[in-house]
Homo-oligomer: A and B are copies of this chain.
Amino acid sequence: MKQFQDEDALVKAIAGRVLPRSRGKLRLGIGDDAALWKPKPGFVSILTSDWFLEGSHFLREKHPPDSVGWKCLARAASDIAAMGGMPRCFLLNLAIPVDATGKWLDGFLGGLRRAARSLDCVLAGGDTTRSKRVLISVIVIGEIREGQEVLRSGGSPGDLLYVSGTLGQAEHGLRLLRKTQRRIKGENDALRKHLYPQPRVALGRWLAERKLATAMMDVSDGLSSDLPRLCTASGVGAVIDPGKLPLLRGIGSDSARELALHGGDDYELLFTVSRRNAARIPAMFRRLRLRRIGELTRGRNVQMSSKNGTRQPLPVSGWDPFR
């Protein structure tokens, strides 16, 4: 892709590359002052926005540009999945250096287009400008039938705590990436999960439609950072059984446990289910493992159980940009 002479040309190129042929769901997309959007009758809109910044969230020299395009949309869409909703359209605020408007932008838009198609989520607008580093702010608009939304605040003491997939896998992928000298594509599962995470939209929707999850959120900063947020919102504590954590295989069990507790970027769903509904939660949802890892408790402490029956506080050490 050539470099751009002005902003209008850049916007036109983005629209041309990312927009799928069908955009019937949007009343009005790119090219006006703003976009128009209306959820289906009986549905409400879900709004979320995420940063994805060069240097903080990705490295231009290490992360393939199509991973940056995929991931910036996928991780924002994960917040919609965490409410039980369906992503519908998105706005892209993109600030790039002129030297990234050629080949890098081409790769980025390719990854973004793949994510948009995979999620059935249409580009509706945004803003472009120039900057020294690549700055991305993605806004996803989703929808959910009124009353089906699953909040972080709905958990009660005694509810069982579940998580999807494998925890710590993306963090392991990031460590592999850091060790390499060059930019690589996803060559194994962990690296693929770090570069091309899959928001758990189908699972979130399934749990929401059946009203099985009492509280839900996605694990983005790491279990030890995110679980306390769910607990605070629900006014409860939690105890997790470290022996039940869905660990990554093929690495030492201590490392795997450390990664599962504190590793970020997995975008798995963490959800709670009342005891009477526990039998309705399958061990596998499609090809995704669902694992019961603990339960909510009275009080406000987040703890780990140990084999001798004692409980220890769970230290918070997931990802925090201000720590």
Residues of chain A touching chain B, judged by Cβ–Cβ distance below 8 Å, are: 4-8, 10, 27-28, 31-39, 44-51, 53, 55-57, 79-80, 82-83, 85, 89, 91, 93, 95, 98, 101, 124-131, 135, 137, 139, 141-142, 144, 146, 149, 151-153, 217-218, 229, 233, 320-323
Contacts and interface: CB of A to CB of B under 8 A. Distances in A.
B51 A129 contact: yes
A130 B321 contact: yes
Contacts of A101: 322
Given A51-B95, A151-B28, A33 B135 contact: no
A46 B35 contact: yes
A57 B139 CA distance: 21
B149 A50 contact: no
Q: For the complex of A and B, list the 9 residue pairs with the smallest distance between their C-beta atoms, beginning with the closest.
A: A137-B137, A34-B48, A33-B82, A130-B321, A33-B79, A129-B321, A38-B44, A49-B91, A35-B47
A131 B85 CA distance: 31
Copies of the protein in its oligomer: 2
A93 B47 contact: no
Given A7-B320, A8-B229, A125-B48, A142 B217 contact: no
Contact of A32 (B32, B129, B146, B151): B151
B32 A152 contact: yes
Contacts of A128: 51, 321
Nearest to A144: B36
Given A45-B141, A53-B129, 17 more contacts: A6-B322, A7-B321, A28-B151, A31-B233, A32-B217, A34-B80, A36-B47, A38-B44, A45-B45, A49-B49, A49-B125, A51-B93, A51-B127, A53-B131, A57-B129, A130-B321, A137-B137
A44 B320 CA distance: 37
Q: Most chain-B Cβ atoms within 10 A of its Cβ — which of A47, A55, A152?
A: A47
A40 B322 CA distance: 39
Contact of A49 (B46, B126, B130): B126
Contacts of A46: 34-37
Nearest to A4: B322
Q: Most chain-B Cβ atoms within 10 A of its Cβ — which of A93, A95, A141?
A: A93
